[in-house]
Amino acid sequence: MKLKKLSLEQKNRYYGLYFILPWFAGFCFLFLTPLLSSLRFSLSNLQVNDEGFTLKYIGLANFREALFSHESYVRTLTESVMNIVLNTPLILIFSLFFAVLLNQKFHGRVLARAIFFLPVILASGIIASIENGDLMQSVVRSASDSTGGGLSVIKNLELTTLLIESGLSPTVVQYLTGAVSRIYEIVSQSGVQILIFLAGLQSISPSLYEAAKIEGSTGYEAFWKITFPMIGPLILTNLVYTIIDSFISDQTSRMVVDTAFKSFNFGLSAAMSWMYFAIIALLLWVTTALISRKVFYQD
């Protein structure tokens, strides 16, 4: 029996299935059981005893407690989602801007790339635990007190006045001044995105820029007509990565962990995590659906 020859499109579909096969196998064998157990815990009252634990089904009581009875879950959840919405565009713009700069030819380019990747190293392992601990907080607080804690506030007020006088709307001014006050957070979360953008920029054929230069286009036109469309898929990739990275290490995630392993309320913790997961999944779905329509894929 003669096998039917597959078309290029069919081959690409199979290649996509082969590509996600390791993830799918890991999901089924390693992640699916804890996921279902977490859903079961969220609908039950879990009591730890000498023999392990017992579950008593209580329906949506844990979800109601988290939403209507817990003293800080709704507020923390709202702050986390707003931080993701506000920081994600800033991180993408910052990482793309510096990736374009680091892609230029200049002396010390390798050292500059290493410096901008340092936040990834500093945000991992023991250094991250020190940063999140009381030691780093006390150091930052003492440094702020010794240098005058109101100095940054005064500078932000001066910047606000300057931007308002230039004709910008108060909403835009508030967003920009908030970005200035969150500059450390933005830089520390941009290392991986810069590397991804840098790899995408280096994969663009120089012949496209040479042809555009011959036609008389400026660097500004070349960026918006060549660079930006060509790295469109990577913008979508970095968007998804940034949202998930923010989701992993924010205040709501720490509250979920503390509720489970400090307060030993595993049912409430599971309910909190499922609601947060649903909100982040909805946010990812909306942003991906909107941006993927504008993404250019080179055949």
How much is the pLDDT for 139?
43
How much is the pLDDT for 145?
45
Amino acid at 228: F
Q: CB within 8 A of 126, min separation 6: which ones?
A: none
How much is the pLDDT for 63?
92
Strand partners, 176: none
Domain ranges across the chain: 63-89+191-299
How much is the pLDDT for 130?
46
How much is the pLDDT for 25?
92
How much is the pLDDT for 219?
83
How much is the pLDDT for 119?
61
Rounded to whole angstroms, what are the CA distances from 92 to 166, 173, 234, 260, 278? 25, 19, 10, 33, 23
Quick check: 196 and 231 in contact, CB under 8 A? Answer: no
Q: Does domain 63-89+191-299 have CATH number 1.10.3720.10?
A: yes
Rounded to whole angstroms, what are the CA distances from 118 to 66, 114, 136, 191, 195? 38, 6, 18, 7, 12
Quick check: 265 and 247 in contact, CB under 8 A? Answer: no
Amino acid at 189: Q
Give pTM, 2 decimals.
Answer: 0.73
List the pLDDT tens digit at each of the 299 positions of the chain. Answer: 555 777 777 778 888 888 889 989 999 998 899 889 999 989 988 887 777 778 888 889 999 999 998 888 999 999 888 888 888 888 898 889 888 888 887 777 777 777 766 666 665 444 444 444 444 444 444 444 444 444 444 455 666 666 666 666 666 666 666 666 667 777 777 888 888 898 889 888 888 888 988 888 888 888 888 888 888 889 999 999 988 888 777 888 888 888 888 888 888 999 999 999 999 899 999 998 888 888 877 66
How much is the pLDDT for 137?
44
